[in-house]
């Protein structure tokens, strides 16, 4: 039996570290956070979060800091490596062992795969991966699930298309690991050059019923969730490759004409041209609400790993 | 009849959105904040401010954050756009719709005119303009009025000279809109190239009795307030134009010899050579105290728009 | 007789401003902070710290902010000068006089010697020097003493080697001024080009029994504390000079074979190659614990200068 104490002191590095019972438990607790997000709480009073962002981010950093403050805790950290001792050549492990003395929980974003795991090993306090390299972004996957649950009432039995950059998109990888715990049909829609990483597919083999395709059109009318992702310029080793695929998809109102009226459109944001603003005022648009669910999920995770739930 | 509830949820974008009764009400509330600034308060406990600074600032950002913390709230945000998703090409509107989920009030500074208005329209929470482009900086105007009131006991009937860069100086524009609600005589002192924007003059036409001049000397002995502004290098499209006017004025102790002994010298800071440090220890110097009044005004505004007054 | 009230409102600029009784008092109070660092406290509720970092730092800035938050206070500030009005050419003194209105205590780090003293003179609130130029870093010296006390139970009578860059290393200078209050034997180990500044030696002349040497080997077996410092590339006027000495020392497990089994190895961090990670899992390694003592010392200092102890 899972209970809150199973999460105390635990690191959140990869979605594949969690089974369905644990994920469902976290999602439940996230729902319980909704009223606390409105009125605030003192649950984490006296506790300190350190946000160590070695890559730029508005959304994830502010979301974690807001979650901590909403629960009465405090936040310290940096938003870019230049202001830290990393600029003097310090190893990640040494930085973490230092911050370990100042904070009760560490949230890290880093351009390199594996960085969050290294941080978790160096720290005595719990470490939460807020995106490392192009591999994983587990709290994003949890908030994606929570948004699906809020909009659809369930995850099992849904038909979900994930569209865009499936190669470099770390949110996609974490989402796949998360969905592998549910009975879903997944359509992986991308240009050939941006097909999902083979190691990720292998990780979910036999657990997810999936189809790879380049064309989202034919899927549209039977789809429950359309998860759009940005082609991330900053992840392409060769800019010319980016130019070839950047305009591959444009999801707009016209395209969504043929969709089920209850189709939920999600996006981890920021978006570029792949998702038109003319979708914003349709009932399909769940991507800004998705951010709100991120707050709930992160409040739950912070309270859980700090043993205060 | 104005009361605190009229301000709940309201955006503070331009001084021209407020009438005299509203301005007087805000100034009153700012005065009530003075003891709370000393001893702290729990009035905004559980509330979160997001400071989104797309341009550098010490004064305004720290002033708002201090105001929020003094009232028991918390603050998140960024001090420069490079650390945000704007660096990935996100639209301002999308950034705001995201942060809207994390904060109860947003303070924005932005290099483009109109940015604060766009933010206010995108957000569901109140947005406070902390300077957008060279057009407006309404909370600066309110703190300027509060300083005048504190030093002179009144605003009506005063003779006020505003000196320096009246073309690009956004504090000047907001101050003019604010002063248009009072019976004042205003002297607009600038080099010809930096005369006040015609649209601002038009906005206050018939409401302010003003004179434009290049020479502050003859005004000095009958003046109540001398408001000095910096020639802002960063606003000049052509650096050569800046070089021609940068040394136009130097207000120093010697220059102030002929002034009324109760003349109040103000400056929005930072200052360069236009205001000599030898004025600092004269009774004329109100520019550092002015910063303190900024704290009171911002405490009042935050509490008002959050409906906690 | 020293008591807590002697520290209220006081600046912490140089170790040489404090005598032994005062230092012992601070170290005592730091020890009292240990349980509060675990469970948090409300002692500084409603008080605000401004951290003004004109040079990059993870450790010192986060340590001070954590100390303030642990005691229930709030923190504002900047982590690099580009986001402040200094970028517009403002004088340090003006910046301080501004921040003076927003905060109850100011912590400053600055690349220039004397900056902390200028700040202390400009501010009405207490100013704590968190490193200015290559001259001083007094809170580092206090945490070094607290670590020595925790590991050895005493400071008097110890044999302490300080190794590495003794010329530019400001932590070394402050440590020397601090140790001058105790009966210690100090070995100053450095390459010839990086011998300790003559003005520092002069300052401790007759108070410290010291020896200058280039070779740490012969000292090792009788040593109580080995304080290793980084050769700081960023302080060298000529990069070629740096290249000549950067690899001068490497303290590793092999080198420590001949050491006393109770030898304490310290380092202000960040470290490069001068201190091998293979020392980390030996009982000699105190450098990460040292960071924790920094938290205690800074909690005590903040509470003392704010008059809340």
Query: Best mutation site among A45, A235, A270 for testing chain B: the one with the most B CBs within 10 Å?
Result: A270
| Contact (CB, 8 A) for C20 and C181 | yes
Widest CA span in chain B = 55
Predicted-complex ipTM score: 0.94
Alpha carbons B76 and C249: distance in angstroms, whole number: 43
pLDDT for B23 beyond 80 = yes
pTM above 0.80, yes or no: yes
Q: If you average pLDDT over residues C230-241, what whole number do you get?
A: 83
Q: How would CATH label the architecture of A4-136+292-305?
A: 3-Layer(aba) Sandwich (3.40)
Assign B136 a pLDDT band (cuts: 50, 70, 90): confident
Task: Mark yes or no for CB contact C269/A98 under 8 Å.
Answer: yes
Q: How many CB pairs (< 8 A) connect A and C? A: 85
Question: Nearest-CA residue of chain A relative to C280?
Answer: A94
Query: Best mutation site among C62, C64, C77 for testing chain A: the one with the most A CBs within 10 Å?
Result: C62
Phi, psi of C251 (to 5 degrees): -90, 115
Phi, psi of A107 (to 5 degrees): -110, 130
Task: Mark yes or no for CB contact B99/A62 under 8 Å.
Answer: yes
Encoded tokens for A296? 């709930």
- Judged by average pLDDT, the poorest of A154-163, B82-91, B293-302, C11-20 is B82-91
Assign B253 a pLDDT band (cuts: 50, 70, 90): very high
Mean pLDDT over each residue of chain B, to the nearest integer:
94
Task: Mark yes or no for CB contact C59/A85 under 8 Å.
Answer: yes
Alpha helices in chain A (DSSP H): 20-39, 59-70, 92-99, 115-122, 138-152, 170-179, 198-204, 239-245, 287-305
Q: What sign has the CA pseudo-torsion A37, A39, A44, A47? A: positive
Alpha carbons B285 and B275: distance in angstroms, whole number: 10
CB atoms within 10 A of CB A239: 9
Question: Given this model, what pLDDT does residue B245 score?
Answer: 82
Q: If you average pLDDT over residues A275-293, what whole number do you get?
A: 97
pLDDT, one tens digit per residue, over A214-255 is 999 999 999 999 999 998 887 788 888 888 888 889 999 999
Question: Given this model, what pLDDT does residue B85 score?
Answer: 64
Name every residue whose Cβ is closer than 8 Å to that of residue B207 and which is 6 or more positions away in sequence: B180, B181
The domain defined by B4-136+294-305 folds into Rossmann fold (3.40.50)
Q: Which of A41, A62, A277 sits opposite B102 (nearest CB)?
A: A62
Phi, psi of B18 (to 5 degrees): -115, 140
Question: Given this model, what pLDDT does residue A151 score?
Answer: 98
Phi, psi of A237 (to 5 degrees): -60, -35
CB contacts, 8 Å: C80 with chain A? 82-83
Assign C248 a pLDDT band (cuts: 50, 70, 90): confident
Question: Given this model, what pLDDT does residue C93 score?
Answer: 96
Question: Given this model, what pLDDT does residue A97 score?
Answer: 97
| Contact (CB, 8 A) for C67 and C39 | no
Question: Given this model, what pLDDT does residue C83 score?
Answer: 60
Encoded tokens for B117? 């208005």
CB contacts, 8 Å: A33 with chain B? none
**Residue whose structure tokens are 């860059």:** C165
Domain boundaries, chain B: 4-136+294-305, 138-291
Q: Is A22 exposed, middle or buried (0-12, 13-18, 19+ CB in 10 A)?
A: middle
| Contact (CB, 8 A) for C25 and C142 | no
Task: Mark yes or no for CB contact A47/C40 under 8 Å.
Answer: yes
Q: Which of B62, B269, B271 sits opposite C50 (nearest CB)?
A: B62
Q: If you average pLDDT over residues A191-203, what whole number do you get?
A: 93
Question: Given this model, what pLDDT does residue A87 score?
Answer: 66
Q: What sign has the CA pseudo-torsion C48, C78, B127, B102? A: negative
Task: Mark yes or no for CB contact C272/A89 under 8 Å.
Answer: yes
Which subunits have 3 or more CB–CB pairs within 8 Å of chain C?
Answer: A, B
Q: If you average pLDDT over residues B214-228, what whole number do you get?
A: 96
Tell me the nearest-neighbour CA distance from C59 into chain A, angstroms. Answer: 7
Encoded tokens for A129? 């991966």
Alpha carbons B179 and B161: distance in angstroms, whole number: 12
Task: Mark yes or no for CB contact C88/B59 under 8 Å.
Answer: no
Helix (H) or strand (E) holding A131: strand A127-132
Question: Given this model, what pLDDT does residue A133 score?
Answer: 82
Share of chain A above pLDDT 70, in %: 98
**Could you tell me which residue, A134 or A309, shows the higher pLDDT?**
A309
Alpha carbons C179 and C153: distance in angstroms, whole number: 15
Residue whose C-alpha is closest to residue A228's, from A259, A252, A204, A201? A252
Assign B97 a pLDDT band (cuts: 50, 70, 90): very high
Tell me the nearest-neighbour CA distance from A229 into chain B, angstroms. Answer: 13
Q: If you average pLDDT over residues C112-130, what whole number do you get?
A: 96
Share of chain C above pLDDT 70, in %: 98
Task: Mark yes or no for CB contact A86/C288 under 8 Å.
Answer: no
CB contacts, 8 Å: B123 with chain A? none
Q: If you average pLDDT over residues B142-171, what whole number do you get?
A: 96
Q: Which of A72-81, B72-81, B154-163, C234-243 has the highest mean pLDDT?
A: B154-163
Question: Given this model, what pLDDT does residue A271 score?
Answer: 94
Q: If you average pLDDT over residues A102-112, what whole number do you get?
A: 96
CB contacts, 8 Å: B89 with chain A? 270, 272
CB contacts, 8 Å: B40 with chain C? 45-47
Tell me the CATH number of domain C138-291, given options 3.40.50.1370, 3.40.30.10, 3.40.190.10, 3.40.50.150: 3.40.50.1370
Alpha carbons B155 and B113: distance in angstroms, whole number: 29
Widest CA span in chain C = 55
Q: What is the dihedral of CA B285, B289, B293, B296, to 10 degrees?
A: -170
Assign C86 a pLDDT band (cuts: 50, 70, 90): low
In three-state secondary structure terms, C265 is strand
Assign B57 a pLDDT band (cuts: 50, 70, 90): confident
Q: How many CB pairs (< 8 A) connect B and C? A: 84
Q: Which of C74, C78, C101 sits opposite B69 (nearest CB)?
A: C74
Q: Which of C46, C87, C98 sits opposite B291 (nearest CB)?
A: C98
Tell me which residues of chain A have a C-beta less than 8 Å from any C-beta of chain B.
39-41, 53, 56-59, 62-63, 65-66, 69-70, 72, 75, 79-80, 230, 232-234, 269-272, 277, 288, 291-292, 294-295
Question: Nearest-CA residue of chain B relative to A292?
Answer: B101
Task: Mark yes or no for CB contact C78/B58 under 8 Å.
Answer: yes
Q: Which of A50, A89, A93 sits opposite C62 (nearest CB)?
A: A50
pLDDT, one tens digit per residue, over C215-226 is 999 999 999 999
Question: Given this model, what pLDDT does residue C308 score?
Answer: 95
Assign C265 a pLDDT band (cuts: 50, 70, 90): very high
CB contacts, 8 Å: B61 with chain A? none
Which subunits have 3 or more CB–CB pairs within 8 Å of chain B?
Answer: A, C
pLDDT for A84 beyond 80 = no
Share of chain C above pLDDT 90, in %: 83
Alpha carbons A256 and C166: distance in angstroms, whole number: 68
Domains B4-136+294-305 and B138-291 belong to one CATH topology:
yes
Encoded tokens for A162? 């994930």
pLDDT for B297 beyond 90 = yes
Alpha carbons C203 and A187: distance in angstroms, whole number: 74
The domain defined by C4-137+292-305 folds into Rossmann fold (3.40.50)
Question: Given this model, what pLDDT does residue B244 score?
Answer: 83
Q: Which of C74, C270, C277 sits opposite A89 (nearest CB)?
A: C270
Mean pLDDT over each residue of chain C, to the nearest integer:
94
Phi, psi of A294 (to 5 degrees): -60, -40
| 3-state DSSP percent of chain B in helix, strand and coil, to 5 | 45, 15, 40
């Amino acid at each position: 039996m899972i209970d809150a104490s199973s999460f105390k002191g635990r690191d959140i590095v990869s979605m594949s570290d969690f089974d369905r019972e644990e994920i469902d438990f976290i999602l439940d607790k996230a729902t319980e956070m909704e009223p606390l997000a409105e009125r605030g709480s003192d649950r984490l009073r006296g506790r300190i979060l350190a946000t160590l962002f070695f890559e730029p981010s508005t959304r994830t950093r502010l979301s974690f800091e807001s979650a901590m403050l909403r629960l009465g805790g405090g936040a310290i950290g940096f938003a870019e490596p230049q202001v830290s001792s990393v600029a003097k050549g310090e190893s990640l492990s040494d930085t973490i062992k230092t911050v370990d003395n100042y904070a009760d929980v560490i949230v890290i974003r880093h351009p390199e795969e594996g960085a969050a795991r290294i941080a978790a090993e160096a720290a005595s306090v719990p470490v939460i991966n807020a995106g490392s390299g192009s591999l994983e972004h587990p709290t994003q996957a949890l908030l994606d699930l929570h948004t699906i649950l809020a909009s659809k009432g369930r995850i099992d039995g849904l038909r979900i298309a994930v569209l865009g950059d499936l190669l470099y998109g770390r949110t996609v990888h974490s989402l796949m690991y998360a969905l592998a715990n549910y009975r879903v049909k997944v359509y992986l829609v991308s240009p050939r050059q941006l097909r999902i990483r083979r190691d990720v597919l292998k990780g979910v083999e036999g657990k997810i019923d999936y189809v790879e395709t380049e064309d989202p059109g034919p899927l549209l009318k039977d789809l429950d969730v359309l998860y759009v992702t940005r082609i991330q310029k900053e992840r392409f080793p060769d800019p010319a490759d980016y130019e070839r695929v950047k305009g591959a998809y444009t999801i707009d109102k016209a395209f969504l004409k043929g969709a089920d009226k209850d189709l939920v459109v999600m996006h981890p944001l920021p978006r570029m041209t792949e998702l038109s603003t003319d979708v914003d005022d349709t009932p399909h648009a769940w991507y800004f609400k998705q951010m709100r669910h991120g707050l709930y999920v992160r409040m739950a995770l912070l309270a859980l790993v700090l043993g205060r739930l």
